[in-house]
Structure 1
């Protein structure tokens, strides 16, 4: 059952990433972020660039060899040596460029790997409010598709810009030495069409960014649908959910096509520039040959240089295109890197030994105020209570009273707006997070079970647990019979989010996982809501046993779970209205008395005239006896 305090996440309208759109980074910041990814691999990229330059030099030497070949033909000299040189230039140039391409591709994959490792490590340390503000699918798309786009811009774009630029300048210089007039004709055409290319580059960046956002929305919608797959089927919502995914996919397609259109325009402009230049040079060059101003061999070499100019120009256009595509991805990655993370300062190991050592923890709330966001109403208004250590303390009250938020503040999932939360007399803000959480076992409302085996789920918070420890906790959580029935025992796969387990089984797995940690402080949030009466009573016995040495805090709407608690904290509208035992609160707190009466737990309630009423008897299932 929901406590009603989960109003923190931003469920309002917005872009797929939870904001109004990914901000476009200034060029300086984009290059700074680009260099941060590029820097660890700069020597490998430099090596690839050297190979590419050597290949470019070999290519540039070919028109000169061709000119010499034509001259020798005119002078009726042997051309065998020139043919050997030409062949060697072609073979060597191709081989060197192939090696350079491999080095760059390998380096590009290394860039992506490093970026994904860094981003995953950071996203898993995000503060909970940041995760609740974002969409999980969008965060996943940044790790997958955005980092893939990063590959192109950090290596291909950089190297293409360097090698293309050097080759372009070298080609232009050689063409100038041959004939300045023909060079002027060539540059005039290239500059004219180059202006058109410059105009379409921003459109490529804009379309790519929108396409990536739409891909993130696809991931978000699919994650939602598969996360509630039974609900989707039971609601007959397959077609509606399919339509939602189709809309997101159509949006991604539309912007992808738009980006492809602008990229096609850029490449077509390059091809058009070269072809027009070729025709102009052929016409004007032919006239200059006829007039005797240049030789035929010079015109042939110039035309070959013009063809070879296609490669550096293409590389420069590719670099610009990849930069526009990659800059959109970099902006999204930088935004993810700027999300607020938890500072996991060094502390004691989070092993069972750490969690289980020491006395039971005490918990004190001192005038605590809290709200999820500045634009939302407060959840806690000066909450104060004391849990001295060991024993069981229960938190009850209507939905929205702020009970679950108590646990979130103890775990430091959220930071208080005012007041203090003390564990063992120390403000939780003075603890290192690993040390604080190593002392706590936490069972959430929805008792999440992760994909994997049952053993992996049980030992998730206690990876060093022995088989004997696991067997002991299976018995305590009433899971031993389940394990005996499973085909592969503890090594049975439980499915996505524990889909192969019942709700009660998932809850018991979560409880066993927390107990295996041997915490000093155990937080149980609606830990029995999906258990049957027999297992609920068994768990009550386990909790009672554990609470002799461990501080146990329980949030429950089913009061049958907490009637034996050492103390019960009654919360209402973000405040503590009463603290006492079950009998004390039935007698003196109207809200608790109403909750107890509603659930047939009011033992010996008092009538207005002061006379006791007959207690309502219950059977083991909590149902009034007939």
Structure 2
């Protein structure tokens, strides 16, 4: 369930989160009502004990019943609290699973415009606040309301005059506390946003730790993080100040009501209007009224904090996941073949959200089973073309086809199952060598893993320690060289055996020896695959079946290396700078 972005979520927004726990919550509710009934019976039994003792009659039976009620109430309260805590933990777990799964399926454009640290904060800190919604918020509010209603009814029946005095004192304190509590939700959301910004600043600094050290920028980055932390601190103080008012208001309410009841009640006992037992019972009911009422007001402020966090969670869940806008495949569309596939760009245009167009009517075809290279100066749109094939973004003009089928008519999973993609930055996942390889082929055997490592000249990684394939690669592959990270990413793609292989600068971090080894590996797999390669280093693609030259988001030339050196001034300039032509 999602909420309107223009209004904060209310209690109704919690229902989908609580629905999976409704059985336990019903049990918790039953225990709460039973416990409240046991507590509310205690003042009546106490009055009976006092009246019997005052009259000189035996009260042992009532005393035993009173003790039994106290013990039963304590046991019921302990069981209720355990079930409530378990439900709260289950709620947090379910929300984290749902939110994490949704975050991992957000459109790529969302990652472009959002900060990683803020997303992490929503999955971590914001979901944690939902625990208080259940434990300190929702059920304390409900239980407190039951106790207040029951105690108020009993007090009204015992002495309407004393009840009126109590009600007047309580109404002032509660009204003030609720006014303050209503501000907490907005303040709590602001505080969580500041925490998200601080987490983003920390994540930014840690991810670039080596660059920061090398640039001697530790103090500046520390100051940046400290400034974010200070803003989070200030926002947290605003919430704390608002919540702190609730406690004194509750205390004044309790003490004021107690003193008034003692004064007026003592006078009524002296006049004979009520008995001592009635006054004691009324005072006990007073505490059952005011203390739960104070707890309920405090719980209400906790609930507002949780709803503030829920607003941030719902904001992310309201973003449609990748594939939500997939259109159904037309009935006339033929299925994509299982072998090497042709890739066709037909007057393709594209611009990133909020930015100018970066591709202008790009048209060329990569025949099935051939190798096509994309070359050109930085910013020409080469990597963007690969991202469009993967449907990380949708074309904004023209058509992109795989084996004659518009890629928008193919489910993303089905499309990507036929594509292997190696990014320019060659990301490596924290964990082991095996973990990184199995991400594309979870059922691959150790022999297959070692074979693909040999294909890209990485076999030594599984042999240099006794851990073998379970050797750690470090956070972001920090224990590997840049060239090893690049080749590991290529090994992952090769392991899946895709019919179409997309390589974005596959040799950018390789020395001459490993570049030659990788070229041999690419030559071996190219026999049975369609290859689309982005390259700045032209030596890796001079033998491509086709080279497409891009400049300013447009195709300016197409041909082989020999043809382009004669017909394309731009290609000839690039080749001359790389000493490939004289």
* Residue 391 (structure 1) shift: 2.1
**C-alpha distance in 1 between matches for 2:43 and 2:327:** 64
Work out whether residues 166 and 257 of structure 2, in 8 Å CA contact, stay in contact via their aligned partners in 1: yes
The aligned residue for residue 550 of structure 1 is 529
Q: Are positions 1:476 and 2:435 aligned together? A: no
Tell me what 1:166 maps to.
146
Aligned partners of 2:339 and 2:499 also within 8 Å: yes
**Matched residue count:** 573
TM-superposed CA distance for 1:23, in Å, is 8.5
Aligned pairs for 1:223-262 (under 5 A) are 223-262=203-242
Alignment of 1:33-72 (within 5 A): 33-72=13-52
1:391 corresponding residue in structure 2 = 370
1:409·1:415 contact (CA, 8 Å) conserved in 2?
Answer: yes
> After the TM superposition, which of the residue ranges 251-260 and 43-52 deviates more from structure 2?
251-260
Match of 2:555 in 1: 576
Alignment of 1:309 with 2:289, yes or no, is yes
> In the alignment, does 2:19 pair up with 1:26?
no
2:412 and 2:5 mapped to 1: Cα distance?
Answer: 34
Summarize the alignment of residues 251-290 of structure 1 with structure 2, pairs less than 5 Å apart.
251-290=231-270
Question: Matched residues in 1 for 2:205 and 2:137: separation?
Answer: 38
Q: CA deviation at 1:215?
A: 1.5
The secondary structure found in structure 1 opposite 2:388 is helix
On the 8 A contact 1:25/1:331 being kept in 2, the answer is no
Native 8 Å contact 2:341 2:403 kept in 1: yes
State the Cα distance separating 1:267 from its structure 2 match.
2.1
- Residue 331 of structure 2 is matched in structure 1 by none
Residue among 392, 407, 423 paired with 1:444? 423
Q: Deviations over 1:120-142 (max 9, x none)?
A: 11111111001211111111111
Q: CA deviation at 1:343?
A: 2.5
CA contact (8 A) 2:342 2:403 kept: yes
Unaligned runs of 5+ in 2: 329-335
Deviation of 1:30 after TM superposition, in Å, equals 2.6
Residue 500 of structure 1 aligns with which residue?
479
Task: Work out whether 1:588 is the aligned partner of 2:567.
Answer: yes
Distance in structure 1 (CA, Å) of the matches to 2:341 and 2:202: 42
Q: Kindly report which structure 2 residues correspond to 1:69-84, keeping only aligned pairs within 5 A, or say none.
A: 69-84=49-64
How far 1:155 sits from its partner (Å)?
5.1
Secondary structure of residue in 1 paired with 2:547: strand
User: What secondary structure, in the 3-state scheme, does the structure 2 residue paired with 1:379 have?
Assistant: strand
**TM-score in terms of structure 2 length:** 0.95
5 Å-filtered alignment, 1:183-222, equals 183-222=163-202
Alignment of 1:64-143 (within 5 A): 64-143=44-123
Q: 1:182 to 1:223 in 2, by over 3 A?
A: same
Answer yes or no: is 1:529 the counterpart of 2:508: yes
Aligned counterpart, 1:358: 338
| Separation (CA, whole Å) in 2 of partners of 1:72 and 1:505 | 89
Give 1:389 shift.
1.2
- 1:270 alignment partner, SS class: helix
Query: Does the Cα contact within 8 Å between 2:550 and 2:557 map onto a contact in 1?
Result: yes
Q: Assess if the C-alpha contact under 8 Å between 2:441 and 2:495 holds in 1.
A: yes
Q: Deviation at 1:590?
A: 0.7
Cα distance in 1 for partners of 2:459, 2:304 equals 58
Question: Cα 1:25–1:101, aligned 2, differ >3 Å: closer, same or farther?
Answer: farther
Give the Cα–Cα distance (whole angstroms) in 1 for the partners of residues 237 and 560 of structure 2: 67
1:308-339 alpha-carbon deviations (Å, 9 max, x no partner)? 22332034213311221111111101101011
CA distance in 2, matches of 1:183, 1:25: 43
Instruction: Please say if residues 437 and 495 of structure 2, whose CA atoms lie closer than 8 Å, have aligned partners that are also in contact.
Output: yes
Q: Which one of 561, 565, 589 corresponds to residue 540 of structure 2?
A: 561
Distance in 2 of aligned mates of 1:246 and 1:42: 43
- Equivalent pair of 2:450/2:462 in contact (CA under 8 Å): no
Residue 342 of structure 1 aligns to a residue whose secondary structure is: coil
Greater displacement, 228-237 / 310-319:
310-319
CA positional deviation for 1:144: 1.0
| Native 8 Å contact 2:178 2:297 kept in 1 | no
Q: Is the 8 A contact 2:174 2:297 kept in 1?
A: no
2:332 maps to none
Q: Do the aligned partners of 1:34 and 1:154 also contact (CA within 8 Å) in 2?
A: no
RMSD over aligned Cα atoms: 2.0
SS at the partner of 2:518? helix
SS at match of 1:493: coil
**TM-score of the superposition, structure 1-length normalised?**
0.89
Please tell me whether residue 292 in structure 1 is matched to residue 272 in structure 2: yes
Q: Write out per-residue CA displacement over residues 505-550 of structure 1, whole angstroms, 9 at most, x where no aligned residue.
A: 0011001111111111111101101000011112112212221211
Alignment partners' CA distance in 1, 2:172 and 2:298: 18
Aligned partners of 2:557 and 2:568 also within 8 Å: yes
Deviation (angstroms), 1:492: 0.4
Residues 432 and 469 in structure 2, CA contact (< 8 A), matched pair in contact too? yes
Kindly indicate whether the alpha-carbon contact (under 8 Å) linking 1:367 and 1:420 is maintained by their aligned counterparts in 2: yes
Looking at structure 2, the residues matched to 467 and 538 of structure 1 have their Cα atoms a distance apart, in angstroms, of: 22
Matched-pair contact (CA < 8 Å) for 1:23–1:331: no
- SS state at 1:485 partner: coil
8 Å Cα contact 2:254/2:291 also seen in 1: no
- Alignment partner of 1:378 out of 321, 338, 357: 357
The one-character-per-residue Cα deviations of 1:451-479 (angstroms, maximum 9, x if unpaired) are: 01001112211111122221221111000
Give the stretch that moved more between structures: 443-452 or 30-39: 30-39
**Is the contact between residue 59 and residue 90 of structure 1 (CA under 8 Å) also seen in structure 2?**
yes
1:501-516 to structure 2, matched below 5 A, reads: 501-516=480-495
Query: Matches of residues 591-610 of structure 1 in structure 2 within 5 Å?
Result: 591-602=570-581
Q: CA, structure 1 residues 486+391, in 2 after alignment: closer, same or farther (shift >3 Å)? A: farther
Deviates more, 1:166-175 or 1:220-229: 220-229
- Give unmatched runs, 5+ long, in structure 1: 1-21, 348-354, 603-614, 616-626
1:252 Cα offset (Å): 1.8
| Whole-Å separation in 2 of the counterparts to 1:217 and 1:72 | 66
